[in-house]
Amino acid sequence: MGDLFAEKAEDWDRRDRVKALSRDIGAAILAHIPVHEGMEVMDFGAGTGLISSQLAPLVGRIVAVDTSESMLERLMAKPELVGKVKPVCRDITAQPIDERFDLIVSAMALHHVPDTRLLMQRFAEHAKPGGLLALADLDEEDGTFHPADAQGVFHHGFRRARLAKLLAEAGFGDVRFTTVHTVPGEGRGYPVFLVTARRVQ
Ligand SMILES: C[S@@+](CC[C@H](N)C(=O)[O-])C[C@H]1O[C@@H](n2cnc3c(N)ncnc32)[C@H](O)[C@@H]1O
């Protein structure tokens, strides 16, 4: 599969919907996770770095994982992230990274990964014992959030109870959900959750 975000990367940071989402998700992560300057963080599906940018001044180091070269190029063009955020263009479900993290965050990327159970297992493998997780994505929706012909969309959001079960099976405890944003749509809204969890020791 090619780089599905190549075109989107060009104006990603200027999109109002993206700006509002990343602002609220970033704020929610900071409200729920006690970040500190020693933290080693993975930003999964980091894109152009809209979440990494909010965390970078407050943590030790961030590894920005994404399968889109174009999105990561935009991330690395941000001078304030150079030296603090390391881009890794890789599908970690197929090819894990040989590193463990204090915190794994992700914004709006889970629905692009076919096998959610495997992804939660990979997160557990990449987390230090006691490491924290903060994942944001859509609650289950009727398939109208993305255009009908959108490629690389494998889930129409998530049922919280199912995700909680997959997290528990992967070895995470303290699983908590909160609604952090609602994306406005035609006569409706699409709620976005943040789930936080801790890898069991
Ligand atoms: C909706 S964008 C969100 C980007 C960023 N987190 C933000 O909030 O602006 C989804 C991102 O997930 C990335 N992605 C899709 N599949 C992926 C995978 N298997 N592994 C890592 N990243 C992936 C895409 O390339 C894209 O950058």
The rounded distance, in Å, linking the Cα atoms of 186 and 141 is 13
Atom of ligand 1 nearest to the CA of 46: 6
Residue 145's pLDDT is 94
Closest-CA residue, ligand 1 atom 17, reads 67
> Residue 2's pLDDT band (boundaries 50, 70, 90)?
confident
Atom of ligand 1 nearest to the CA of 12: 9
- Is 80 exceeded by the pLDDT of residue 201? no
Exposure string over 41-60, b if 16+ CB within 10 A, otherwise e: bbbbbbbbbbbbbbbbeebe
Summarize pLDDT for 16-55 with one digit per residue, the tens: 999 999 999 999 999 999 999 999 999 999 999 999 999 9
The rounded distance, in Å, linking the Cα atoms of 49 and 55 is 10
Summarize pLDDT for 130-147 with one digit per residue, the tens: 999 999 999 999 999 999
CA of 48 to the centre of ligand 1 (A): 9
* Best residue for ligand 1 mutational test, from 71, 81, 95, 194 (most atoms within 8 Å of Cβ): 71
Residue 19's pLDDT is 97
Query: Sign of dihedral through CA atoms 139, 61, 23, 36?
Result: positive
The rounded distance, in Å, linking the Cα atoms of 134 and 155 is 19
Q: Are 153 and 146 in contact (CB under 8 A)?
A: yes
Query: Sign of dihedral through CA atoms 48, 54, 55, 56?
Result: positive
Please give the domain boundaries of the chain with CATH numbers for all domains: 6-182 (3.40.50.150)
* Mean of the per-residue pLDDT values of the chain: 96
CA of 140 to the centre of ligand 1 (A): 18
> Residue 1's pLDDT band (boundaries 50, 70, 90)?
low
Residue 4's pLDDT is 87
Q: CB under 6 Å to ligand 1: residues?
A: 5, 18, 22, 44-47, 50-51, 65-68, 71, 91, 107-109, 112-113
Average pLDDT over residues 91-101: 97
**What are residue 85's DSSP bridge partners?**
62
